[in-house]
Amino acid sequence: MKYVYYLIAFVTGAIVAAIIVISSKQGFSLILENNTLIIIGIFLLAFLCIASVFSIARKSMDRGKPLGLPNGSVRAIIALLVIIFFVLTAMLCVFSSINTEISKQILTTMATLAIAVSSFYFGSKATEEGSKISQEVFTQALTATSQTELIPIAIIQEAIKNNKEQWLIIYECLDIHAGQKSTQNVTNNINCIVFVVKEKSDKQTPIPPTIPYNTANKTYAIPTDVQEENIAANDGKKPSINSIDVEGQYKIVQQYIDNNDLELKENHPQITGIKAEDFNKTLPVTIGIVLEVESLMPDLPPIVVYEGYVIPVYQKTGGYAKPHSSPQYLDAGISRRNDTEFGTCGIPVHYQNQLHILSCFHVFFNEEMKRGSKKVDSTTSISDRKLISPCFSDRVDDFDDVVGEVIEGEISEFMDIAIMKPNVEFEKTFKRLKGPNSYTVLSRAQQEKIFLQFWGNGSKQIRTGKLININSGQWVEYDGLERCYIRGLIQIERCAVGGDSGAAVTDSDNRLIGIVLGSDPDYTYIISAYNIQDKSKYTLLT
C-alpha cells in the first residue's frame, strides 16, 4: 500500500506544478517572477522522487538488489525522471523569455537525452528477457543431452505420488501428472513431470528444468514441462479424437495410457486392465481408452482431454490375470527340482554368445517369487538351480532327468521372463516344442482378423485364439507378490490353461509372436517377442 501513496504524491506534485505554470501564463499567476516557480517545481519533484526511493529502499527486505527494489526499478525511475524533466524544461522554455536559439538547443539536448535513456531502458529489458530465455533453453538442452536413459514412467509416477501435494503448493499449479516433454506443441520422446498452470507467468515460483528423485538407491534427474490449462472439453473448441486417422488415434490414446495408467489404477482400484481400442466396433472408427474393471464405475468421467483431443472412456467388466503354471507332470513340463509348479520350456535365445532357453520368471523361480522376490541373478543364493523335464528325455515317464540350471530372470515393467542353461542336445530339446523359425511384430490392422497358436505343457495340444489387442496393460496376480502391472502385452481370446506359461506363441506362418504369460476370465496374455528382443539383454534366434 505504501507504494500507492508514493505514486499519488508524485503524480500530485507533477499536476500542481503544471497547473501553476499554466495559470501563470494565462494571467492568474500564483506568482513568482521569472519562472522561479517552475524551477522550484522541478527541484521539488526530484526531491520527492529521490526521497520516496530511499524510503522504500530503507524498508525493503531484499538487500541483494539495487536500493532494495525489484529488478529494473532503478532504470525505470531514471527513464521516467528524464522524460518528466524534458516536459517541464520544454514548458519553461515556451513560457519564459529565454532566447529562442538557446531554447532550441536546450530542447534538442533534452530530447536526445530522453530518447537515449528510454531506448537504453527498453533495450536492457529486451536483452534481459532474451538472456533469460536463452539460459532456459540452454539448461533444457544441457539436461536433455546429459540424460543417459529414458526415465521409466513408473518412476515418474512414483515421484508424483510421493510429492504431488507439496509441489502443488510450492509451484502454485493446478495439477501435476506424468507426460512427455513438448516444444512448440511438438511432443518429444522424453518422459517428464508435467506441471499444469492456469497461464505461464513470471510471478509464479520458477519450475526447474529437472527435479531430482531418489528411489532404490538411485537418483533420477526427471525432466519437467510446464503446460497451460486445457480448455474445458465441453466448450466446443476441442476436436474429437476421431478427427484424425486411426493410426494417429491409437498413438495419442496409447500415449495417454502409458503416461497415466498407474495413476488411474491408484484412483480407481477396480481397474484390472487398460488398453486402446475401438470398443463400439462402429464406423467412423473412434479409438478410446478401454478400462477392464471388476465392476462398472458410474462416477468415472466418460471422456478425457489429452493433447488437444477429446478421448472417450469405455468400461467393461473383467478380472485379474493369473499366471499359467501348473502342479501337474506333463510331457513338456519344466520346473526346478523339488518345486511343485511346472510350466513350459519356452524359446531358444542367445545370452553372452551361448544358447539359453527363455521361459517365465514364475516358472523358473516360483519359490523365490512366493517369498516376495521379483528378480534373481547369478549371484543370488537359492536352494537349487537344477531344472528337470521329461521332454528332454527319451523316456516320457522319466521325470527326474536334470536338463540344465536356471541362471537369472525378473518380473519388470514389460516382462516376466527368465533363462536357463541347458546341458542337453539342442535338437532333442525342441523336437516336441514345435519351435518357431523367426519372430515378427504385429500391427493394429491384424486385430480381430488373425489367430495365434501355441502348444504348451498344460494343453498338450495346439491351442488357437483370435488376436484382440496388440498392446494391453494388465495387472497380474502372483502368489507372494502384490499385483504387478505389465505393459505391452498381446491379448487374445482365452485359450491357455495351467502349465502353458512360457509356451511359444506363433502366427499361421510359424513366426514367433511371444510366450504365454497368463489369463483372466476372458483373455489370454502374451509377452511379445518384440519386447523380449528390444527391452531385454537376450537375443532371439531368427
> DSSP string covering 460-471, please?
-SEEEEEEEEEE
| Cα–Cα distance for residue pair 193/389, rounded to 1 Å | 48
Q: What is the pLDDT of residue 310?
A: 86
Q: What is the pLDDT of residue 392?
A: 56
Omega into 284 within 30° of 0, i.e. cis?
Answer: yes
| Cα–Cα distance for residue pair 194/397, rounded to 1 Å | 59
Q: What is the pLDDT of residue 216?
A: 86
Q: What is the pLDDT of residue 522?
A: 94
Reference 268, options 288, 291, 290; nearest CA is 291
| Cα–Cα distance for residue pair 97/34, rounded to 1 Å | 9
Q: What is the pLDDT of residue 234?
A: 41
- Residue-range domains of the chain with CATH: 2-139 (no CATH), 153-229 (no CATH), 234-317 (3.30.300), 435-540 (2.40.10.10)
Reference 36, options 106, 95, 122; nearest CA is 95
Q: What is the pLDDT of residue 18?
A: 61
Q: What is the DSSP letter of 326?
A: B
Residues 511, 538, 430, CA angle at the centre, nearest 5°? 50
| Cα–Cα distance for residue pair 251/255, rounded to 1 Å | 6
| Cα–Cα distance for residue pair 192/187, rounded to 1 Å | 11
Q: What is the pLDDT of residue 107?
A: 66
Q: What is the pLDDT of residue 429?
A: 44
List per-block mean pLDDT (blocks of 10 residues) for the chain, which spans 542 residues.
54 60 52 56 68 66 59 71 70 63 68 70 60 52 49 85 88 82 64 83 82 91 82 51 86 93 90 90 82 88 85 91 72 74 86 91 92 92 84 52 88 95 64 57 94 88 94 94 94 94 90 94 96 93 68
| Cα–Cα distance for residue pair 34/31, rounded to 1 Å | 9
Strand partners, 489: 472, 527
Residue 519 contacts residue 322 (beta carbons within 8 Å)? yes
Q: What is the pLDDT of residue 252?
A: 93
| Cα–Cα distance for residue pair 464/456, rounded to 1 Å | 11
Burial class (CB in 10 A: 0-12, 13-18, 19+), 376: buried
Looking up cell 513408473 gives 154
- E strand or H helix at 316: strand 309-317
